[in-house]
Structure 1
Amino acid sequence: VDLYKITATKSGYMIFDLDIFTWGENLDLFVYDSPDMSAGSLLDASTGPNSATSSFESCGIACSPGETYYIKVAGAALGDSTAYGLSAREVENYIDIEASSHDPGFIHVGKNNIVAGNIDISVGFRMNINELIVSTHGSMPLENVTGIHLYRDMNGNKSLDGSDKLVASGDFHNTNRAIFNGFTEEIKHGDSPSRFFITLDIAGIDHDCDIGLALISYKDISTQEGAEVHYSRFPIFLDRIVAGVDSEPPSWNSTVGIQQALPQYSAALLRWNSATEPLTPPVKYNIYWTDELPFDFGTAWHLDNVSAPSGGGYDHQYKLQGLINDHEYYVAVRVEDQAGNEDQNEIYLSVTPAMISDPYNPQIVGVLDTPGSAWEVVCDPPNQRVFIAASSGGLLVVDVSNPTSPSLTAQIPGSNVHGVDFDGTYVYGASGNGLMVVDPDAPGGAALIGSLSGNYLDVCVVGDWVYLTGYNDQLKPADVSDPTNPVGYPSVDSGYYGYGMDAQDGYLFVSTYYRPRVYDISNPSTPVHKRTFGNNGSYEIDAIGNRLYVTYWTNNRVSIYNIADPTDPQYLGNFTSSVGSGGADIVMFNGYLYFGTNNHHIEVLNVDNPSNIIKLGQISTNGPDGLDTDGIFIYSAENEYGLKVIL
């Protein structure tokens, strides 16, 4: 606490300004007329949070000659170093007023609380306003003005909102003047200028007319102190309000109505261009659809005032969902203004939703909240099911015969199950307790039929053998020709702990946190390391034909290599995600590479030319850690967010 005192030499008004130089320090200012600085002697105070944009406090007093006043600066914590400036200045007590521009737009028929004008009132020290007189002019009949109100801006945003104070209300009583009185509104130098809003209630308009408000003379604003605004300020005219009946619909700017209707899975993507409304904006767009012709707008299904951002080269696009696949619909778009005038265009387009994948606009069609965290997924297309490595949730069997509503059919307990593979008969899981072998079609339901101890992250099936990677920097071969009794063989060095694997033509490709590796597995019990290539931080790896795709966790990248000679992968190109925070998994779907990143996105890539990979589209998900496809849908294992089905 810092204390000061000052003695006045004449009558007048004094302002104390506290300028806080140390941003972030909350200082308060108090002025007293007694050295005991008791609550009863407090004359004025300025308190509140301080910041870079609000680093001032200010107090004011009316002073008398010979009187001593006591100033306290308080608020900083004990031991804080705070810099500030404190000054005192003499001011005159005056009042001034000016209008600020406001355009309420065209008023259709009527509306309450229309802001008819803003006035800003400034004072030199302190004034108490107790009356305001407003005059009206224009062609609007006064019986259409059902109320007039005076509000004060309480939050300083210069816009009328719910936090502002209603000071007074009145009416014109069939005269051209409204008088606001019966109130006292104090304005202090620290509030100056203070904004007031004058609003009108208008009803029953049946023809075009206008109204304007004005303060005609200095007698139109009164104060308790008897001070007057200088006569040269008057008259003060506020903005004119134009009201009437808007009976015309909006106009289309270029093309009229719907322009494109694209089929999607149980949906249609609709596109159109903008319309404009000069009198009662903003416009809203209404969608109509039916499965019968002729098109009857009166009986068609409809959605009003849809939110439709730009897309596909058009001003607006909207995804109409909940449609039946392979069923023909007819869709139309009309535009409406705020007065309820809708255009009557009769343009419609035909669209038949279907199981169609759009690489530019992939979509989520199904979701399953899985027990545990879904790390990896593998598909069994003939049986319309998928298998999920679900960490603490074990190994899951999920029915996807209805991809929009996947359902859990079996759960085999396991600890830290992070990898899964399927050979067409048995499911293999890599877990913290070792290898799991599951018969998904065992009598009585899916069952664990074999195991091999260890601590593994991923598993890859190659014929009668599986290969396991883990945290121990080892690659483990195991013979599963008898799935009930897997036989492990000596591990070989993997250089660092391994993640994903894939096999092709007698070679095993392993991604490790260090770099990807190639092993010759022509002798399956004894993998032979042939090459280490690429960069650090590899995560998943897929061999497709003569190409090898590797994701990199550390740089948000997927790289492509030529493996015409599997022992010598040759770099072809890469794609670095601008929306991801770690390359996770990949899957080839309908000729495009779907690249999942840890930052909740799947990006669709055209990789025909690896040196110039083109991004076509993307979809936001919850973190695609594992991807697979049954040729119709993509299945994304999304860690704690379960399974998502994508088309």
Structure 2
Amino acid sequence: MPFAYVVSQGSHALVIINIADVDTPSIEGYIDGGGAPNYLSGATGLWVRGDYAYVASITDDALSIFNISDPSTPTLEGVIRGGGSPNYLDGSRAVHVVGNYAYVISNVDNAMSIFDISDPSTPTLAGVIRGAGSPNYLSNALDVHVVGNYAYVTAAFDHALSIFDISDPSTPTFEGGIRGAGSPNYLNQARGVYVVGNYAYVSARVEDCLTIIDVSNPASPSYAARLSGTGAPNYMDDPKYSVVKGKYAYVCTGGFDDRLVIVDVSDPEIPAFAGSIGQGSDSSGVDVVGDYAYVVMYGSDTFRIVDVSAPSNPVNKGTLSGAGNHLDGVFRVWVTPEAAAGMRGLGSGAMAELMLG
């Protein structure tokens, strides 16, 4: 059975949504509660792998790990928390899990903390790197993407993308970075980051653009290209987070645009608008599996499924919304790859073809 996982800041919740029928998604299960024992106040960051969901909560300054082997009844597995030394989780905002480690970004402590999660019931601190301005440029760190031996971190107040060598998780080190508002790097309030191949795709909030950075040399990243502009034709007002799947980048925008924007990045140095569709207020997160994008909207407390099989003509499908569905301030979404093998929509009454993504 395919599921989407979302975290909601206002509902202080991890919510699991059944997406077997893309026209009628439904709540499968949830777990909520700020403070002990779940520490989900201000749930903002999310990563899902196997039987576990990892949630970073900006108000509780915590990384909480939940057992989701039974999606109808998620349970707490383990927690680590605390701002300042030693964990530096004040304002924990984003998490990326690779192997036995969780990489957590905290925007008040201006830090990336690395935790050993080999025992999910007892996460332990492995290493930390922090500091606003030179040399690490982590002021108001907002997002992290890990590829190979490197962690790529955006920092809004430093207008920066910083790259860290994490080959030794106990001693992360600054490898290289690129920063600066406006020309030539266009990283004013860098927010979301997604790395594919030799390129990092950065949502630059104040620049109103998707900025593409060449990271083929992590010690010396360089500006490659951007797609920018509010309103038609690019609808890039206040971009939040993006994912890149295949030759397309899918970008959530807010402000006056409030759209899911699809960008052709088959040539990352010449990005081109492919299509878009309006969403609710303040689209904040997106994931894409198969022919569908799954979008969450912080301002309108909404989860929506979008058919993106024709990128030039995306179509809105099923929707869930409201605090009654534990979606108050829904912020991030994760859809497991297994969703591509599930039922994708009942439409006219026939089962959609099963497919592998």
Q: TM-score, normalised by structure 2?
A: 0.74
Deviations 1:114-134 (A, max 9, x none): xxxxxxxxxxxxxxxxxxxxx
Please give the secondary structure, in 2, of the residue aligned with 1:518.
strand
Residue in structure 2 matched with residue 502 of structure 1 by the alignment = 194
Would you say 1:411 and 2:79 are equivalent positions? yes
Residue in structure 2 matched with residue 529 of structure 1 by the alignment = 223
Residue in structure 2 matched with residue 538 of structure 1 by the alignment = 239
CA drift of 1:450 comes to 0.6
User: CA 1:492/1:264 → structure 2, altered by over 3 Å: closer, same or farther?
Assistant: closer
User: CA 1:264/1:386 → structure 2, altered by over 3 Å: closer, same or farther?
Assistant: closer
Alignment check: 8 A CA contact 2:201 2:210 kept: yes
Residue in structure 2 matched with residue 69 of structure 1 by the alignment = none
- The whole-number CA distance in structure 1 between the counterparts of 2:76 and 2:219 is 36
Choose the corresponding residue for 1:359, options 5, 18, 22. 22
Choose the corresponding residue for 2:45, options 376, 381, 385. 376
User: CA 1:443/1:510 → structure 2, altered by over 3 Å: closer, same or farther?
Assistant: closer
Would you say 1:570 and 2:272 are equivalent positions? yes
User: How many percent of aligned residue pairs carry the same amino acid?
Assistant: 24
User: CA 1:632/1:264 → structure 2, altered by over 3 Å: closer, same or farther?
Assistant: closer
Alignment check: 8 A CA contact 1:397 1:440 kept: no
CA drift of 1:387 comes to 0.9
Q: Which structure has the higher relative contact order (CA within 8 Å, separation 6+)?
A: 2
Alignment check: 8 A CA contact 1:429 1:437 kept: yes
User: CA 1:387/1:571 → structure 2, altered by over 3 Å: closer, same or farther?
Assistant: same
Would you say 1:422 and 2:97 are equivalent positions? yes
Choose the corresponding residue for 1:594, options 272, 294, 319. 294
Residue in structure 2 matched with residue 639 of structure 1 by the alignment = none
Alignment check: 8 A CA contact 1:499 1:510 kept: yes
Residue in structure 1 matched with residue 56 of structure 2 by the alignment = 389
Choose the corresponding residue for 2:262, options 553, 560, 563. 560
CA drift of 1:444 comes to 7.4
Moved over 6 A (4+): none
Residue in structure 1 matched with residue 169 of structure 2 by the alignment = 483
User: CA 1:606/1:356 → structure 2, altered by over 3 Å: closer, same or farther?
Assistant: closer
Q: Within 5 Å, which residues of 2 pair with 1:218-229?
A: none
Alignment check: 8 A CA contact 2:22 2:318 kept: yes
The one-letter amino acid of 2:57's match is A
Would you say 1:517 and 2:218 are equivalent positions? no
- The whole-number CA distance in structure 2 between the counterparts of 1:623 and 1:364 is 16
- The whole-number CA distance in structure 1 between the counterparts of 2:197 and 2:203 is 18
CA drift of 1:465 comes to 0.4
CA drift of 1:536 comes to 3.5
The one-letter amino acid of 2:147's match is V
- The whole-number CA distance in structure 2 between the counterparts of 1:374 and 1:356 is 22
Residue in structure 1 matched with residue 184 of structure 2 by the alignment = none
- The whole-number CA distance in structure 2 between the counterparts of 1:526 and 1:481 is 18
CA drift of 1:522 comes to 0.8
- The whole-number CA distance in structure 2 between the counterparts of 1:518 and 1:364 is 36
Choose the corresponding residue for 1:458, options 133, 143, 158. 143
Q: Within 5 Å, which residues of 2 pair with 1:143-162?
A: none
The one-letter amino acid of 1:374's match is A
Q: Within 5 Å, which residues of 2 pair with 1:255-404?
A: 357-369=20-32, 370-371=38-39, 372-381=41-50, 384-393=51-60, 394-404=62-72
- The whole-number CA distance in structure 2 between the counterparts of 1:444 and 1:396 is 10
Residue in structure 1 matched with residue 343 of structure 2 by the alignment = none
Would you say 1:624 and 2:330 are equivalent positions? yes
What are the ranges of 5 or more consecutive residues in structure 2 without an aligned counterpart? Answer: 4-17, 33-37, 82-88, 132-138, 181-186, 229-235, 322-326, 341-357
Alignment check: 8 A CA contact 2:2 2:338 kept: no
User: CA 1:525/1:490 → structure 2, altered by over 3 Å: closer, same or farther?
Assistant: closer
CA drift of 1:452 comes to 0.2
CA drift of 1:356 comes to 6.7
- The whole-number CA distance in structure 1 between the counterparts of 2:333 and 2:146 is 17
Residue in structure 2 matched with residue 145 of structure 1 by the alignment = none
Please give the secondary structure, in 1, of the residue aligned with 2:92.
coil
The one-letter amino acid of 1:441's match is S
User: CA 1:558/1:264 → structure 2, altered by over 3 Å: closer, same or farther?
Assistant: closer
CA drift of 1:631 comes to 3.1
Alignment check: 8 A CA contact 1:478 1:525 kept: no
- The whole-number CA distance in structure 2 between the counterparts of 1:373 and 1:509 is 26
CA drift of 1:506 comes to 1.2
Deviations 1:406-434 (A, max 9, x none): 11212121210111111233110111220
Alignment check: 8 A CA contact 1:477 1:526 kept: no
Residue in structure 2 matched with residue 435 of structure 1 by the alignment = 112
Q: TM-score, normalised by structure 1?
A: 0.41
What are the ranges of 5 or more consecutive residues in structure 1 without an aligned counterpart? Answer: 1-262, 266-354, 635-647
Residue in structure 2 matched with residue 245 of structure 1 by the alignment = none
Please give the secondary structure, in 1, of the residue aligned with 2:312.
helix
CA drift of 1:489 comes to 3.3
CA drift of 1:527 comes to 1.3
- The whole-number CA distance in structure 2 between the counterparts of 1:473 and 1:457 is 11
Please give the secondary structure, in 1, of the residue aligned with 2:268.
coil
The one-letter amino acid of 2:204's match is T
Alignment check: 8 A CA contact 2:211 2:225 kept: yes
- The whole-number CA distance in structure 2 between the counterparts of 1:375 and 1:516 is 21
Of 520-529 and 478-487, deviating more is 520-529
- The whole-number CA distance in structure 1 between the counterparts of 2:2 and 2:224 is 46
Q: Within 5 Å, which residues of 2 pair with 1:605-616?
A: 605-616=306-317
- The whole-number CA distance in structure 2 between the counterparts of 1:533 and 1:500 is 15
